[in-house]
Amino acid sequence: MSKALDFNNIPSHVAIIMDGNGRWAKAHGEERLFGHSNGVDSVREALKCARELGIKYLTLYAFSTENWARPESEIQGLMQLLVASIHSELEGLCENGVRLKTIGDVSRLPKDCIDSLQEAVEKTEANKDITLILALNYSSRDEIIRACNRLAAKVKSGALNPGEIKQKDVEEALDTVNIPDPELLIRTSGEFRVSNFLLWQLAYAEMHFTKVFWPEFRREHFIEAISDFQSRERRFGKTSEQIS
Ligand code: IPE
Ligand code: IPE
Ligand code: MG
């Protein structure tokens, strides 16, 4: 049992690699898509919990650029699930003050996904309680390459001097512009890797790994991750004495 949370030390941005849907489905004698659709309940629960704890940004890795290599039927099922989930959840998002954003090159998704996402982003734009960021057709290297191209175009137009590119310029060229870096990364399913997720933004994030498969991730697991985060001493390069 984790100890009581310190509400003065809640991370403002939590990112999650939602992994293990396929293995969870297999363990239940079901197809992989059964795992993905059950994972939607975990998303709803994580969002609710994050909002109640006062977390301001929740980023979820939903589909990577590498995931296009999966069987066509699984990709199609995931895209249909995305559209169906947006439709079924949109009203709840609005009622609960959730603003929806995306990162990744969503222009490559099927048209019905793009349209549903656009509608949800527009309808939730003014919501202020929490920002839910879905990483779709996302990989960090792809994001960084697209950022490099944006910076190169700025240099070419004369808006930016070569040799004077600062951290702020890079941050403004990334998909996560105006979003603070995640302070906590959670990965489910017992894998210990980053899988091309937010490589720039996770520079100083605390990492929490759990064996729990994503479809069984519930409030208690989220609380456990926050409790783990609160047990860490975040030194940012300094000595322990300097920060205590
Ligand atoms: C995560 O679960 C969901 C996506 C990557 C879309 P997986 O589908 O990767 O599940 P496992 O890792 O095969 O169990
Ligand atoms: C990472 O999970 C991507 C998402 C959760 C969307 P994967 O299951 O695709 O990652 P790897 O292939 O095991 O690294
Ligand atoms: Mg996986």
Question: Which ligand approaches the C-alpha of residue 39 most closely?
Answer: 1
Please identify every residue whose CB atom is under 5 Å from ligand 3, which is an ion.
19
In a domain, 242, yes or no: no
Q: Is 67 a catalytic residue?
A: yes
Choose the residue to mutate in 32, 106, 195 for probing ligand 2, maximizing ligand atoms within 8 Å of C-beta: 195
In a domain, 146, yes or no: no
**Which residue is closest in CA terms to ligand 2's atom 2?**
19
**Angular region, 210: left φ>0, alpha ψ -120 to 50, beta rest:** beta
In a domain, 240, yes or no: no
In a domain, 241, yes or no: no
196 lines ligand 2 (CB under 6 A): no
In a domain, 147, yes or no: no
How deeply is 1 buried, as exposed, middle or buried, from its count of CB atoms within 10 A (0-12, 13-18, 19+)?
exposed
Q: Is 9 a catalytic residue?
A: no
- pLDDT value of position 1: 47
In a domain, 70, yes or no: yes
CATH code of the domain in which 87 resides: 3.40.1180.10
pLDDT < 50 regions, the chain:
1
In a domain, 13, yes or no: yes
- pLDDT value of position 244: 87
Q: Which residues pair with 136 in a beta bridge?
A: 63
87 lines ligand 2 (CB under 6 A): no
Domain residue limits at 14: 2-139+180-231
In a domain, 238, yes or no: no
- pLDDT value of position 2: 53
Identified catalytic residue from 19, 137, 142, 175: 19
Q: Is the pTM of this model over 0.95?
A: yes
Our count of domains for the chain comes to: 1
Choose the residue to mutate in 64, 78, 139, 214 for probing ligand 2, maximizing ligand atoms within 8 Å of C-beta: 64
* Cα-Cα-Cα-Cα dihedral sign, residues 91, 7, 209, 3: negative
